[in-house]
Structures are given as C-alpha cells and as structure tokens.
Chains A and B, each alone.
Chain A
Amino acid sequence: MRLVLEGFLNTVALTLLAFFGALLVGSAVAVLRIVPVPLLRAVGAVYVEVWRNIPLLAWLVLFVFGLPEVGVTMPLFWTACVAIALYEAAFVAEALRSGVSSVAHGQGEAARALGLTFRQSLRYVVLPQALKRVVQPLANIAIALTMATALAGVVGVVDMTRAAQRINLELAQPLLVFTGVGLCYLVMSAFIGYGARVLERRLA
C-alpha cells in the first residue's frame, strides 16, 4: 500500500511541477515566436519543432541516461520532470501563440489606431481576450501531461503506473489494481477539467 501512495504522490507532483515548468518555458517560447526580431522568432520555431517531433520517451531516455554521461547529474525525479516540462512547453507555446493569433487582427489594429503603443495594445486589448481562449487548450495539455508522466515510470521513477505494475507482481490482483489506477487518472483529469471551467467562467 505504501507503494500506491508513493506512486500517486509522485504522479501528482510530477504533473504539477512539470505543468508549471511547461507554462513558464512555453510562455517564453511563445513570446519568442511573436516578437518582431527574425532571429528570435526562428529560435522559437526551432524549439517547438524539435521538441514536438521527437517522442517524449526518446527525450526521457536521453535525459535520464544521457545527461550523466556529459557530467550533468540530477536526481532521477527532477531529470524526468525537466524533460517532461520542456517537451510539453512546445505544446504550451503553440497553444498560447494560436490564442494570440485567434484574437481578430482588427482588435490589434483598432488598438493601434487609438494610439496605444505595441505594449499597451498587447497588455490591455489582445492578451485579456487571448487568455480566455487558451484556458481550454491549456487544460487539454495539462490532461495530456498527466498521461505523459506515466512514461517517467519507464525510466525508473516510481509513478502511479509503475507502482501498479509492481504491486500487480506481488498481489496478482490485476483487475483491481489497474482499474484503481485508471480511476485515479480519471479523477485527476476530471479535477483539471473542473478547474479549467471555473477559470474560464472567472475570465469571461
């Protein structure tokens, strides 16, 4: 039973920390992708394409087993956390960018016509509208991230899925164990979905 609790807590912690990290990095990358400096824009685009097009499991393997070989050692949990955060950051950046570009061009132009500066029109006109629109996509990313944390189990972090597999070996109660863990994931994502709805109503 201790293993279940440990697995559950690890999954929750991984999800929260990685999502927070993905938000930070993703916002930075999204900014890079919309600034009027071609070089920075290219950097943002390369980041998104590289992270998005390589499987998370390949990243995890590279980070967890590769980093120590170049002399970077971190605790296993944190290495996995960083890899997941950087991976999901690419998706967050895309969600934020499409949120900003979904705000009608006319809105930005109107703000500029009223004499607001670039920063002001972004701050008072575009971003508030964009924010509302990115809540749902971000919630979807958070749910996908919850699922993605299961992969950390493959490289050795004792997360919920990994715990289920190990307990199953001891208890030989597969149906019970796996259904229980599946339910835990369901509850977590239901929680995220509920939070997103509340947040959306607040912003509306």
Chain B
Amino acid sequence: MFDAPGPRFRRRVLWTSVVSGVVLLALVALGLRQFAANGQLDPVRWQPYLTWPVWRYLLGGLWSTVVAAFATGVLAMAGGLLLALRPNRFTRAYAEVMRTVPVLLLVYVMLFVLPSFGINLPVFWKLVVPLALSHAASYAVIFRAGVGSVDPGQREAGVSLGMTGGVVTRFVVLPQAVRHMLPLLVTQAVSLLKDTSLGYVVSYTELLFNGRVLASYTGLLIQTFVVVAVVYLVVNLALSRLAHHLEARRARTAR
C-alpha cells in the first residue's frame, strides 16, 4: 500500500522514529522511577532470583504446568475428534455451550458441586477435567476446519479404491488434515498452557500457584510474579515462534 519511499517520506519516518523513541524512553523511565521510588528495584529484592533453590521450585512448577497441559491436550484432542467426526445436534450444542461458559465455572463445579455428590477427584484432575471439557470444543473446531481443508476428491479416490469410510478417514484424510492443522494445534497449546494457570484456584502446584506460595513465603510479590510472567512468556513465545514457522512452511509447500 506504500509507494517506494522518497527522500521527504524517509525524512518523515526518521523524525517519527526519533520522536516516538524519545516518548518511549520517557515512559520507560517514568515507570522505572515509580518502581525505584517504592524500593522495588532494590537489588536485595531481586537477589533470591539468582539462587538455584528458588529456580528449582519455579521450574518444578513449570514442569507440573507442562504435565497438566499435556494431559489436558490428550484428553481434549480425543474429545474434539469425537465431536468433529460426529456432527449432530448434541455435539453442536456441546460446542456452543463450552464456547460460552467460563472454564472457571467448570472448575468451581469440580471444587464445590461434585464433592457434595460424593465425587471428589484428586487436585490434578480437578484442573485437567474442566480444561479438557472446555478445550475439546476448540479442538473440534480446529479438526473440522482441518478435515474441511482436504480436497473432497481425496476421499472419493480412497472410496473408489475400495477403502471403507473409516479407513479413508484414518489413512487418507486425517494425515493430510493434520499437516494443515499443525500451526493451529500449536497455537492451541499456548492457550492450554495459559489456562493451566487456573491451578492457582484449585491449589495444583503449577507455575502460577508456586509463584503465589513463593510470594507469600518471601514477601517479594512483584518480583516473584514478574519472574513467573517472564517464564510463561519465554515458553509461550517459543511455541508461538514454532507455530509461525510451521505456518510459513505450510504456506510455502501448499502451492
């Protein structure tokens, strides 16, 4: 949408860069001053985060986060596959409901409703089951789009070779669909990983909950949660990069 920039335009870009750079620096400085004025930049407050025990605790939390996300992912994908391959009134209603009801509400049901009916799952499942129920609906949407992106001729060719419907789905359509869906699946993994932070509510010792424990133990609230946020950022950024990379590769090979 742009012309090749001429000298006047380039000068304007330069000026805007300089001005916005100065404004940006000023904002950052202002923020840092606010932090410093309240003693939050005090090296003593950050030093614990250079020690191994603290990191071991946080990384332990990260491991639990990954385990929960993985378990949720497997369950939700299985559920999503069922939902996607059997489109009927019930599965559509299920997807619609799960798209609108907060996961937290499902978590509360696990925490407060089911025990009164005598069902009291371990903490891990109190987190994983609601997440899986909710994410199954998102996976169903992804799967449906992925299967839809495979040329119908592929299925027809399979059927004309004498394969049964199930065999065609399993060996012809799904492998191709997965290639299309891969970037979306990775993106969904980011959202899964973020949602496991609800462990904070159910007292499952994942990253955010461990942050809470650490913060109440050391009293370094801001420092702890900033470090926790950075850990989330690094992990999810890596996943986002991967999704981006897969997407680019798909776009290249699609032609």
| A189–B108 alpha-carbon span in the complex (Å) | 20
* B residues near A37, Cβ cutoff 8 Å: 13, 16-17, 20
List residues of A whose CB falls within 8 A of some B CB: 36-40, 43, 49-50, 52-59, 61-62, 65-66, 69-72, 105, 108-109, 112, 118, 121-122, 126, 143, 146-151, 153-154, 161, 164-165, 168-169, 172, 174-175, 178, 181-182, 185-186, 188-190
B 177-218 contacts with A by CB, 8 A: 190, 194-195, 197-198, 200-201, 208, 211-212
| Partner-binding segment picked from B46-54, B79-87, B158-166, B225-233 | B225-233
Show 17 A/B contacts (Cβ-Cβ < 8 Å), sorted by A: A36-B13, A37-B13, A38-B17, A53-B233, A54-B232, A54-B233, A57-B198, A58-B228, A70-B40, A118-B2, A118-B3, A161-B104, A164-B105, A165-B108, A174-B112, A178-B109, A181-B105
Name the one of A40, A55, A150 contacting B232, with C-beta atoms under 8 angstroms. A55
Check B100 against A40 for contact (C-beta < 8 Å). Answer: no
* Chain B residue nearest in CB terms to A165: B108
* B residues near A66, Cβ cutoff 8 Å: 221-222, 225-226
B75: min CB distance to chain A, Å: 20
A-B contacts, CB under 8 A, total: 154
Shortest Cβ-Cβ A-B pairs, 9 listed: A150-B102, A53-B236, A174-B113, A55-B197, A189-B100, A55-B194, A108-B1, A147-B102, A150-B104
Main secondary structure of the interface of B (DSSP, over half): helix
Q: Report if B88 contacts A (CB, 8 A).
A: no
* Chain A residue nearest in CB terms to B234: A53
A133: min CB distance to chain B, Å: 16
List residues of B whose CB falls within 8 A of some A CB: 1-3, 5, 9, 13, 16-17, 20-21, 24, 34-35, 37-38, 40, 97, 99-105, 108-109, 112-113, 116, 190, 194-195, 197-198, 200-201, 208, 211-212, 221-222, 225-226, 228-229, 232-233, 236-237, 240
